[in-house]
Amino acid sequence: QEQLQESGPGLVKPSETLSLTCTVSGGSISGYSWNWIRQPPGKGLEWIGYIYYSGRTKYKPSLTSRITMSVDTSKNQFSLRLSSVTAADTAVYYCARKTGNPYYFDSWGQGTLVTVSS
């Protein structure tokens, strides 16, 4: 059974860059799209974007100017960088695998809370 695990700082200062990595174990990163989804405390789920194993990306338009995603197939990892963060970016960040058609998120990491505060 494939497992996903997020890692990265739990506290980021305003205006700085949030950086997270998702490590995929028990399976290959090839052949799927790899997604980031976040959930502010007490609120709903927001899709941020995805990256294919090939490196092709698709981001949420409202976040495009601040997002960079990358993939390292040799390490079975993919990463998120979100620049110029504010308190509104405080959330639990999940990495998740999306299947091919039909498209749904079938594997999720446990999530990591990132707080933006000085």
Partner 1 sequence: DIQMTQSPSSLSASVGDRVTITCRASQSISTYLNWYQQKPGKAPKVLLYAASTLQSGVPSRFSASGSGTDFTLTINSLQPEDFATYYCQQSSNTPLTFGQGTRLEIE
Interacting span for partner 1 (CB under 8 A) from 14-22, 66-74, 76-84, 99-107: 99-107
User: Least distance in Å: CB of 118 to partner 1?
Assistant: 27
Task: By CB under 8 A, name the one of 60, 70, 72, 87 that touches partner 1.
Answer: 60
Residue number, 8 or 16, with CB nearest to partner 1: 8
Nearer to partner 1, 5 or 73 (CB): 5
The per-residue DSSP string of 61-90 comes to GGGGGGEEEEEETTTTEEEEEE-S--GGG-
Question: Count residues contacting partner 1 (CB under 8 A)?
Answer: 20
Q: Which helix (H) or strand (E) holds 47?
A: strand 46-52
The reply on whether position 87 binds partner 1 by CB under 8 A is no
**Residue 75 contacts by C-beta under 8 Å, 6 or more apart in sequence?**
23
Give the Cα separation of 41 and 28 in Å (integer).
31
